[in-house]
Structure 1
Amino acid sequence: MQTENQVNSTITLSHHNCDTLICHTCLFFKNKDTSFASIDAVAKNLALQVDAGFRNVRLSLNNEIDQTKQLITETHRIHEKNQNKIHEAFASLHQLIIKHEAILKENMAAIENDNTKQLNAYENHLLKIENSLDFQQAQFCEIVSKGQHVQLLQREYGSVDYLNKIHKELGRLKAPRRTQYDIQGLENLSKIKDEILQCGTVNLKIDNSLGYENSRLEKIMAQQTNPKMLDLSDQQLNDQDVKVLVEKYHEITALSEFNISRNQISSKGIKCLASMLQQNKELSVLILGDNQIGHRGTQYLCHALEKNTVLTTLNLSWNRIGDKGAEHIADALRENKTLTTLDLQQNCIGCLGASHIANALRINTVI
């Protein structure tokens, strides 16, 4: 015990109760049971704590930087891959369109050429008849104009026979018809055009877990030797880490005791954990104290408790679940008949929340 004069003369002590350097004004100072510690010792201890805090923050920061670099690398790789996919798809489509267009034009040209050839042949035949008719008619007109009546009479039957022959020949002729054809499927090109334009639509999906890693968590899980108990308390774990635990480390489904207290887990992480808890048949002790669950996370957890039949101990202390969270717990207690130990200290539960739980305990006689 140090005197007041000693403290006033040189400030070398720190009061254990109020952690102030100048503690001679504190009422505890004159209490004979009051204890003090050396400022050097307190400062050294504080320096160690702050140094450890800096190291933890630095470790978390380095993890975030490494994960960001991985995301950048993965983004570049995916970008290049998508660029190649687009090029290959459109190049293949472009080649197919050019090739098919050439084939289609070639087929159409062959049909048109055949039609033209038939029509030209028919036209030439008609022109020959016309030339013969012109010649015969010119001779006839010359005889008439010269008054050569004897010669005209001599050519009577010849001219008549010629005209009858030409008339019959024209009657037997069958003019070629132009081939009619329809190009099937061209109307579908407009639909294909719309589909191609739709191929350029990009749907953005944000994947927050892409490339996420926590090397410290991986190391802890790799060194895990107890298949029934896992202690991840005070590891600065977040919602992403809980998601990784549930999705990647399936061995946690065989745990009987799981301590994940004093971390940075919110309702999002609890939602992942609750989905696992609904199906779990082994876990009997779950410690979630000193996180950031809130009333929303409590709702997820309690929904799982209504279906869980093996959990006996649940610690939810220091999670600020409030009256709303207490109401969710009350609803779960009315259904759950397995839970025997429930820690709810320091959760900002008022009279209303306490009354909800009290009413539920009238039904639940196990806890």
Structure 2
Amino acid sequence: MTSNLTALVENVITCPICLKHFDQPRMLPCSHTFCFQCIQQMVTDNHGVLECPKRDGTKIEGNNIGDLPLNETVRGLLQLFENPNSSVPLCDRCGTNEAEHWCDSDCKHCFCTKCWDTIHEVGQYQHHKKLSVKDKPLEVPRCGEHNDEDQTLKYWCELCSKEMCGNCQQFKHKDHKFVLVTEYVKSLGEKTENGLQGVQSCVNYRSDRVDKMLSEIEEESKDNQSKVTTAITSIRQVIDEQERILLESVRKTEKDERKIVEDYKRSLQGEQQNLIEQILKFVVVCHDKNPKKILDAKKPFEDYIKATDTKLLELKPLTRTKKELPGLDALKNMETEIRKIKLEALKYDNEKLRQLITNTTDKSTLNLSSSELKDWDMEIVAKELEINRSLTKLRLFTNQISDTGAQHLADALRTNTTLTDLELHGNLIGTGGLEHLADALRTNKTLNILTMHGNRIKDQEAGFIADKLKTNEKIEPQIRKINEIPYTNPQLTQLITSNINSASIDFRSKNLNDQDMKIVANELLQVNKTLTRLDLYTNQIGDSGAQYLSEALKTNKSLTLLQLQTNQIGDSGAQYLADALKVNKTLTQLILYTNKIGDSGAQYLGEALKTNQALTFLRLDQNQIGDTGAKHLADALTLNKTLTVLDLEKNTITDNGAQQLAEALKTNKTLTQLYLGANQIADNGAQLFAEVFKLNK
């Protein structure tokens, strides 16, 4: 068991509460599993009720935990993990005792000691080879079509996806690509292990994300409750305080105004009393009807009236302004506004961003770099990823995107099947954001390029995440080298941009290297839908450059002529191009003369020609192809139905290679031109072709 698989199993058989191997693993109705002892402790700590610690809402009364079922799968895995050699077979003879010996002679059975002694004490059985049952050889299946003892199924045919023996490999599966079954099983195990690791990483990530989301919901609820209480309490305090102040003001105003009025009233009452006294005097004088008394009273009365008039003039009639509280009307509006307050999702929009997306004429590329975009804006961009099925390149570099924004993009990437290039360098994304993207890219296999240098991700953290992403062979190495600044060639990019819709592009003699081919592949061949001719000859293109071109050719549906002559492409580069030819349906002319292709490269190309139904013109002159390479190409010509021109001039082919090619021409009905000049073919080789030409019309 590999260390990775061990870690995988350890994760499954470890209780998340005590962090030890499960002891009596019991499964809750929500399918979460915990040790029974841990469950009992949780019930005790929670006042007799079990609540799933994963906070999914599952609750069980403490007196019912005994009915929780054992997780048999986990228990079985636990037993297998802790006792990997505990599975001892029973004796094939008695069927009751554990076997201890294996007869490696005619018997081919397992025996306990008692049965071994009983059978192998007499006759020819005494000489049978005895092995420990632990050393019993693995059973090797044999071919159903060939019963020879040596015809074990030891090969795997990659074309037919089945096991085969050596006989089947040489005849029935001749020319099919094959590997040893042991190698295939090993690679299958590694692939499955990586796949399981990927699934576990995905489940763990999403489980952690759910737990985090539950925590966020809880914290958000507490925060909002606190905000409500604080705000309303503050308002209540203000209202209570203002009520006290207003009531005090009203009462004081009443007291002050009352004093003024009462003082005025007392003054009036004094004058009223004086008036009564004067009236009484006047009545008395008038009652006597004595003129002298009346005349004597004249001056006092006049003085009184004059003095009183003066006093009344000073004691003006009171006026007052009514006091109101107009601000109280605003409280009604405030009441309405308070009643409008409710819990709702925050609404955000960026009309400028929406217009920029709408006004982009080329729907295959969306350039939003250096636009001061934030996390909320990524919701709008994610929506575009969901609805725009033509978008292949998204440029979001040099913005203010953090982990939350990366999460929005990741959610869209899970269902997107068109985006090939995502540029996120120069943002604020951390490890959490990278984990969001990595989780999406475990299933998204369309994205080819992800740039994230200049964010907030450390190399070590990126390495851990890359380890969990081995199922995505394109993105995993990019994440592992996430902080490396990628190669750029502004001049080449500008040339591509200015020729993005051209049918023919000439990049010859521009000193282009392998990294430049990555740009050509990603920015030209995967974008330009009208390009039919691409000239790349006389540059510095090697095997890696050929690999980039090959990946693009696998999906390109327009290119018909590719000129790669006078470069540095070797056998590995030829293999990459051959892989593309196996699936490409449009390329008709491939020019590869003056490179470094040898016999192995010719073999790869030959294998591709056996199934390719588009290529008609192939130039391999001035390479390093010898007789072995010629043989592979000859084998291809016996099956190929489309190639009309094959140029092999100036290689190292001798009469032996010429013989193989000549034999192929006896059955090939499509090749019209075969160039073999300046090789090492003597008269015998030439004679072979002369004879073939008599037959091949």
TM-score using structure 1 length: 0.54
Q: Distance in 1 between matches of 2:215 and 2:313?
A: 84
Q: Does 1:350 align with 2:553?
A: no
Equivalent position amino acid for 1:345 in 2? L
Which of 509, 516, 520 in structure 2 is aligned with 1:312? 516
| Match in the other structure for 2:217 | 75
Helix, strand or coil: the match of 2:320? coil
Map 1:34-183 onto structure 2 (within 5 A): 46=188, 49-145=191-287, 147=289, 151-178=293-320
Q: Distance in 1 between matches of 2:562 and 2:173?
A: 42
Instruction: State the 1:133 CA deviation.
Output: 0.8
- Does the Cα contact within 8 Å between 1:312 and 1:339 map onto a contact in 2? no
Q: Distance in 2 between matches of 1:117 and 1:315?
A: 95
Q: Does 1:30 align with 2:172?
A: yes
- Does the Cα contact within 8 Å between 2:286 and 2:294 map onto a contact in 1? yes
- Does the Cα contact within 8 Å between 1:284 and 1:313 map onto a contact in 2? no
| Match in the other structure for 2:161 | 19
Q: Distance in 1 between matches of 2:267 and 2:561?
A: 109
Instruction: State the 1:115 CA deviation.
Output: 2.6
Q: Indicate how the Cα distance of structure 1 residues 3 and 119 shifts in structure 2: closer, same or farther if over 3 A, else same.
A: closer
| Match in the other structure for 1:291 | none
| Match in the other structure for 2:487 | 284
Q: Indicate how the Cα distance of structure 1 residues 106 and 131 shifts in structure 2: closer, same or farther if over 3 A, else same.
A: same
Q: Indicate how the Cα distance of structure 1 residues 31 and 153 shifts in structure 2: closer, same or farther if over 3 A, else same.
A: closer
Q: Indicate how the Cα distance of structure 1 residues 134 and 179 shifts in structure 2: closer, same or farther if over 3 A, else same.
A: same
| Match in the other structure for 2:472 | 263
Helix, strand or coil: the match of 1:314? helix
- Residue deviations 1:239-281 (CA, integer Å, cap 9, x gap): 9x968765222779xxxxxxx9973989xxxxxx9xxx9xx99
Instruction: State the 1:13 CA deviation.
Output: 7.0
Equivalent position amino acid for 1:115 in 2? E
Which of 314, 327, 343 in structure 1 is aligned with 2:528? 327
The structure richer in helix per residue is: 1
- Does the Cα contact within 8 Å between 1:115 and 1:179 map onto a contact in 2? no
- Does the Cα contact within 8 Å between 1:144 and 1:152 map onto a contact in 2? yes
Q: Distance in 2 between matches of 1:251 and 1:49?
A: 25
Equivalent position amino acid for 1:284 in 2? Y
Q: Indicate how the Cα distance of structure 1 residues 109 and 281 shifts in structure 2: closer, same or farther if over 3 A, else same.
A: same
* Aligned residue pair count: 290
Instruction: State the 1:47 CA deviation.
Output: 5.3
Instruction: State the 1:44 CA deviation.
Output: 7.2
For structure 2, the 5+ residue unaligned runs are: 1-141, 348-375, 380-403, 411-429, 461-468, 498-512, 564-697
- Residue deviations 1:108-144 (CA, integer Å, cap 9, x gap): 5434432321222112101111122123213423553
Helix, strand or coil: the match of 1:141? helix
Instruction: State the 1:18 CA deviation.
Output: 0.2
Equivalent position amino acid for 2:557 in 1? G
Equivalent position amino acid for 2:472 in 1? N
- Does the Cα contact within 8 Å between 2:261 and 2:318 map onto a contact in 1? yes
Q: Distance in 2 between matches of 1:356 and 1:159?
A: 137
Q: Distance in 2 between matches of 1:55 and 1:261?
A: 9
| Match in the other structure for 2:456 | 248
Instruction: State the 1:39 CA deviation.
Output: 7.4
Aligned-pair RMSD on alpha carbons? Answer: 5.9
Equivalent position amino acid for 1:312 in 2? D
- Does the Cα contact within 8 Å between 2:154 and 2:180 map onto a contact in 1? yes
- Residue deviations 1:307-346 (CA, integer Å, cap 9, x gap): xxx96352797x9x998x422898xx9xxxx997452231
Equivalent position amino acid for 2:266 in 1? N
Equivalent position amino acid for 1:283 in 2? P
Q: Indicate how the Cα distance of structure 1 residues 30 and 237 shifts in structure 2: closer, same or farther if over 3 A, else same.
A: closer
Instruction: State the 1:41 CA deviation.
Output: 8.1
- Residue deviations 1:170-195 (CA, integer Å, cap 9, x gap): 22334455368897977877887788
- Does the Cα contact within 8 Å between 2:154 and 2:163 map onto a contact in 1? yes
- Residue deviations 1:201-248 (CA, integer Å, cap 9, x gap): 751567465799879x89xxxxxxxxxxxxx9xx94979x96876522
Q: Calculate percent identity across the aligned residue pairs.
A: 19
Q: Distance in 2 between matches of 1:14 and 1:281?
A: 42
Equivalent position amino acid for 1:71 in 2? M
Map 1:178-189 onto structure 2 (within 5 A): 178=320
Q: Indicate how the Cα distance of structure 1 residues 110 and 2 shifts in structure 2: closer, same or farther if over 3 A, else same.
A: closer
Q: Distance in 2 between matches of 1:265 and 1:137?
A: 121
- Does the Cα contact within 8 Å between 2:143 and 2:152 map onto a contact in 1? no
- Does the Cα contact within 8 Å between 1:11 and 1:21 map onto a contact in 2? no
- Residue deviations 1:69-106 (CA, integer Å, cap 9, x gap): 12322332233233323422332343234324433443
- Does the Cα contact within 8 Å between 1:15 and 1:37 map onto a contact in 2? yes
Q: Distance in 1 between matches of 2:210 and 2:337?
A: 36
- Does the Cα contact within 8 Å between 2:198 and 2:470 map onto a contact in 1? no
Instruction: State the 1:59 CA deviation.
Output: 2.5
Helix, strand or coil: the match of 2:472? coil
Helix, strand or coil: the match of 2:518? strand
For structure 1, the 5+ residue unaligned runs are: 219-231, 253-259, 267-272, 287-301, 359-367
Q: Distance in 1 between matches of 2:318 and 2:231?
A: 46
Equivalent position amino acid for 1:326 in 2? V
Q: Which moved more, 1:181-190 or 1:98-107?
A: 181-190
Map 1:216-255 onto structure 2 (within 5 A): 236=442, 247-249=455-457
Equivalent position amino acid for 1:118 in 2? I
Q: Indicate how the Cα distance of structure 1 residues 167 and 45 shifts in structure 2: closer, same or farther if over 3 A, else same.
A: closer
- Does the Cα contact within 8 Å between 1:28 and 1:34 map onto a contact in 2? no
Equivalent position amino acid for 1:263 in 2? N
Q: Indicate how the Cα distance of structure 1 residues 63 and 262 shifts in structure 2: closer, same or farther if over 3 A, else same.
A: closer
